[in-house]
Chains A and B, each alone.
Chain A
C-alpha cells in the first residue's frame, strides 16, 4: 500500500500544497520547473526589472504622511503609494512577472481570473504589451459592479468571459480558469492573481510582489529609518505577502494584515477568515483557512471592496497568522470609507477601497504607538477605479442626479 512519497513542496507549516485533480498536475509541475529556472536567469531578471521601471513605473513612492501623523498624534505614518503603478494597483508586478514567464515557456494563450478587475486589467495590459492573447474570467455579478474595469480590459484587447456558475464572483472565476486550463493545458498559461491556489503559485506571486517590501526597506534605510509596524489589507493576500516578504524572517517589525469586516459579524456579512470564523480546509488547490459551513461548503462572503471579497486566504499568510508572526485584524466597510475620506482630505491621497481597510487599521493603531515609531501602510491600489461605488456610498444624491444627466447627454 505505502508507495514511497516524495517530499512535498509548497507547504508553509500545515498550509499550502498542490491539491489538484490529476489533469492539472503536470501543467503545475512544468510551471514549477520554469519558475525555478528563472531564479538563476539574469536575462529574465534584467527584462523584468527593466519593465518594472519603464512600464510599471517603479519604484513607487513612499511618502511621509505629515498631516495624518500630526492629527493621530502617535507613530510616524508613511504610505507606500503602490497604487501609482501602471493600471492602478500592485497587481501588475505579478502579472508582468508571470507574463514574462509565459513568454519564456512559449505559451501564446493567457488566461486569468479577476474579482474587482484590477488583476484582470493588469494582465490584459501586460498581454497587450507582450503580444499575448488574453482571456479573463470574471463572475457575472462582478462584471456588473465593476463595469469600468471590464471596459478597460476590452480596450487592452482582452476577451472578458462572464462566469455564470455558483455565486458568480471571484471564487467562481477561479474555478472557471482552472477548468479552462485543464481543457487546454498545452498552449495555456494561467496567470493567477493572488498568493494562493496550488503550489507554485503562492511562492511565485510572493516573489513577484516582494518588490513592494524591498523598495520600502531600501527607501527607509536611505533615510536612516527602520519600520516598527507594517499594515496591509488581505483578501487572498498578494499585496500583504509581497510587502511583508523581506521582513518575515526577523522578529520585527510588527506585521499587521487587515481583513474585510464588511457589514459586521455573521455568515455572509464579511470576509474575515483569520480573525473570525475561518476553518481549515482544502479548496481551489490549496490547504488554508476558509469560510466554510459544517459540511465543508464554501460560504458566501461580503465586502464593499470586491478585491477582499473572497472566502480563502493565501497559505503562507495563514501559517504566519497562526504562528503569531503576522497579526490579523479587520476593518468594516464603514471604517474603510472613513479612512478613504481621511487620507483624501488630509494627505491628498486616494486609497482603493481594499487598501482603505489597511488605512483604517493604521488610523486605529497609530495613536497607541510611540512618536518615534515608524508605521508604513501599503496603499496597494488607488481609488479612482471605485468611483461608482464610493460616490454612491459617500454622495448618493448628487451622484444619482449626475448619472441621470449623463444618460440624457448620451
Chain B
C-alpha cells in the first residue's frame, strides 16, 4: 500500500517566494495533501520549530493576503493536491468566519484546520464551512471524551485531524496499539482521518497507513528548512524532496 502524506509548511517561511518553492518541492515529491499554516503571533499549540518559523515569517511582514496568495499559487499549480489552511482563531474571527472561508474558497483551498475554534466554540465556523464548501476539519486528541468524539463525528466532517498524543507539535510520537486504536475509534463512515503530531520516519507513516487517510508531517520539514533555508531554492527543494520520498 502506498503511503499518503499531508505535508505541512509555514507560509512566508523561509521567505515569501521560497515558501512557494517549498510547496513545489513537497507536492512534486509526492505529497497527497498540503497543509499551509498562516503564521499567528501567538501559536500556543506549536512547538519551538514551528513557533520560530512563524516568528520569522511575521517579522518579514507576512500578511493573511499573502497567505491566500500562496494557497492560490499552490492550488493552481497542483490541482490534484488538496490544500488545507491551518491557522489560529484570531486570524479567522477578525475578518469574520464566513469572509475568511470565502477567501479560502476563492484561493482554491479545500479545507481548514483551526485548533482553537473547537466545534462548540466555533463562532459559526462549521456552519459557514458547509455553506462555502470548505471542509472544516475538527482536531481530536487521545484524551477527548467518548461523548465529545460522538458529537464531533455527528457533525459528519469530511476530514478530521487526529493528534496522536497530547502536547504540542514537534516532539517525536511513539506509535503503539493505543494511538492506533484511538484512530480506529474515530473512523466514521465518510470521515477521512489525517493523523499527525511528531511524525518524522517512514516506520511511523507505514504504521499509520491502514488506519488513516494520510499521515501529517510538519515540524520535520520545518527543521529541514531551518537547516537549508539559506542554501538557495534548488538545494532546499532537493533536501525537502528527499525528506518526502524517505517517508513514502
Contacts and interface: CB of A to CB of B under 8 A. Distances in A.
Interface of A: 1-6, 8, 17-23, 25-26, 29, 165-167, 171-172, 174-175, 178-179, 182-183, 185, 279-285, 287, 290, 292, 294-298
B140 interface: yes
A175 B43 contact: yes
Identify which of B63, B120, B152, B156 gathers the most chain A CB atoms within 10 Å of its CB. Answer: B120
A326 to B, nearest CB: 24
19 contacts: A2-B127, A3-B119, A3-B155, A17-B121, A21-B44, A21-B45, A21-B115, A23-B141, A23-B143, A185-B166, A279-B94, A282-B90, A282-B116, A285-B116, A295-B64, A296-B93, A297-B40, A298-B41, A298-B42
B94 A292 contact: yes
A171 B123 contact: no
B148 interface: yes
A296 B90 contact: yes
Nearest to B171: A183
A3 B145 CA distance: 16
Nearest to B142: A23
A22 B118 contact: yes
B114 to A, nearest CB: 9
Nearest to A281: B90
Given A5-B120, A281-B93, A183 B166 contact: yes
A182 B168 contact: yes
Interface string B18-51: 0000000000000000000000111111011001
A182 B197 CA distance: 13
Given A22-B140, A166-B41, A282 B89 contact: yes
Contacts of B183: none
Contacts of B143: 23, 25-26, 185
Listed from nearest, the 9 A-B pairs whose CB atoms lie closest are A296-B94, A183-B167, A296-B90, A21-B115, A3-B154, A282-B89, A296-B91, A298-B41, A175-B44
Nearest to A175: B44
Given A22-B140, A279-B94, A182 B116 contact: no
B58 interface: yes
A183 B140 CA distance: 15
Contact of A25 (B117, B144, B156): B144
Contacts of A19: 89, 116-118, 121
Interface string B147-180: 0100110111000000100111000000000000
A13 to B, nearest CB: 15
A183 B172 CA distance: 12
A335 B156 CA distance: 57
A8 B122 CA distance: 12
B115 A22 contact: yes
Given A1-B126, A3-B119, A285-B116, 7 more contacts: A6-B120, A19-B116, A19-B117, A23-B141, A165-B55, A167-B41, A297-B40
Nearest to A280: B93
Nearest to B66: A295
B48 A21 contact: no
A283 B94 CA distance: 11
B130 interface: yes
A182 B167 contact: yes
A3 B92 CA distance: 22
Interface in B46-92: 47-48, 51-52, 55, 58, 63-64, 89-92
Contacts of B43: 175
Given A1-B130, A19-B89, A294-B94, A284 B121 contact: no
B139 interface: yes
B166 to A, nearest CB: 5
A310 to B, nearest CB: 12
Contact of B156 (A1, A8, A280): A1
A3 to B, nearest CB: 4
A165 B168 CA distance: 14
Contacts of A23: 45, 141, 143, 163, 166-167
Contacts of B127: 1-2
Contact of A179 (B47, B145, B148): B47
Contacts of A175: 42-44
Contacts of A183: 166-168
A26 B115 CA distance: 15
Contacts of A285: 116
B94 A295 contact: yes
B55 to A, nearest CB: 6
B63 A295 contact: yes
Identify which of A22, A25, A172, A285 gathers the most chain B CB atoms within 10 Å of its CB. Answer: A22
A166 B56 CA distance: 10
A206 to B, nearest CB: 20
Nearest to A4: B151
Given A3-B151, A21-B115, A296-B94, A8 B167 contact: no
B121 A18 contact: yes
A46 B55 CA distance: 47
B120 A8 contact: yes
B109 to A, nearest CB: 17
Contacts of B89: 19, 282-283
Given A21-B116, A165-B51, A295-B94, A182 B121 contact: no
Contacts of A22: 115, 118, 138-141, 144, 148, 163
B29 to A, nearest CB: 29
Contacts of A282: 89-90, 93, 116-117, 123
Identify which of A178, A284, A285, A296 gathers the most chain B CB atoms within 10 Å of its CB. Answer: A296
B120 A172 contact: no
A25 B41 contact: no
Contacts of A283: 42, 89-90
A6 B145 CA distance: 15
